[in-house]
Amino acid sequence: MKKSILLTGATDGIGLETAKKLAKQGQHLLLHGRNTDKLAQLKTSLQAQYPQVTIETYDADLSDLKHVKRMVTALKSRHDKLDVIVNNAGVFKVNQTITQDGMDVRFVVNTIAPYLLTTSLLPILGANSRVVNLSSAAQAPVNLEAMQHNINLSDSSAYAQSKLAITMWTFYLATTLRATSNSSDVPSFIAVNPASFLGSKMVKDAYGTEGKDISIGADILVRLATDPSFEGITGRYFDNDYGDWAAPHPDALNENKNKDLVGVIEQILAPLTV
């Protein structure tokens, strides 16, 4: 059955390859990117190759939470039901590590923006819907002061912490929503390491290596988004370096730490209304 799938970071790397594979399946694609020209080119290219596919595009700079708010408004104006969110967009090395609002851009793009996007879209996520969050094999304990940009971090430290942070809120929402709602009425939440050192631009810029075939990562994202065998599975971590479910970083299993982290995210988002 065709699904409506929101894919962030769809114009490059793993996201681009994932978009191609989902288009081949004939899914209803809601593709996000930062660059409007690249989004338009991608839409034209995919529809030329797969005329049956329905594609919508949404441009937003995820380092600016006001852009995320506008994207949510646009999505809700066109949809009253959404089947899948794949929070794929992410950054490692950036020229400017501080946003205009004084926050760490690595945490904003990799952790906070996808949280805002996902929680704002919960009302239109239908029964048996899914949220797939891009984690990483690189994870490190989260310094909540750094997430609020009270401490400066290196690129590698910020990336590793932001990827554990998205894993932690994945587990938090999976637990809290199932505890307060009928399990069939809330999304399932899965964090995934798509595989280490895939040949994306981000990996090349960060490590100077060509990396492995990005199809390895795209294939697991497509499976997690669409394969019936994953339906209803929530609060799990899939490690594609091993091709199986795995134990997440211990902090993601610590309910108090997850709650504290989400509390800080909510404090950061408090001035915003969607």
Q: Residue 271's pLDDT is what?
A: 87
Round to whole Å and give the CA distance between 253 and 9. 28
Q: Residue 150's pLDDT is what?
A: 81
Q: Residue 156's pLDDT is what?
A: 93
Q: Residue 195's pLDDT is what?
A: 73
DSSP letters for 204-258 = HHHH----B-THHHHHHHHHHHH-GGGTT--SEEEETTTTEEE---GGGG-HHHH
Q: Residue 262's pLDDT is what?
A: 98
Q: Residue 88's pLDDT is what?
A: 98
What does each C-alpha distance from 104 to 98, 113, 115, 194, 252 come to in angstroms?
A: 5, 12, 15, 24, 21
Q: Is the CB of residue 212 less than 8 Å from the CB of residue 199?
A: yes
Q: Residue 148's pLDDT is what?
A: 86
Q: Residue 274's pLDDT is what?
A: 45
96 token code pair: 């400017």
Q: Is the CB of residue 64 less than 8 Å from the CB of residue 100?
A: yes
Nearest-CA neighbor of 148 among 165, 160, 136, 132?
A: 165
**Which residues in the chain land under pLDDT 70?**
182-184, 196-212, 273-274
Q: Residue 174's pLDDT is what?
A: 96
Q: Is the dihedral of CA 267, 268, 269, 272 positive or negative?
A: positive
Q: Is the CB of residue 116 less than 8 Å from the CB of residue 71?
A: no
Q: Residue 197's pLDDT is what?
A: 52
CATH number of 4-272: 3.40.50.720
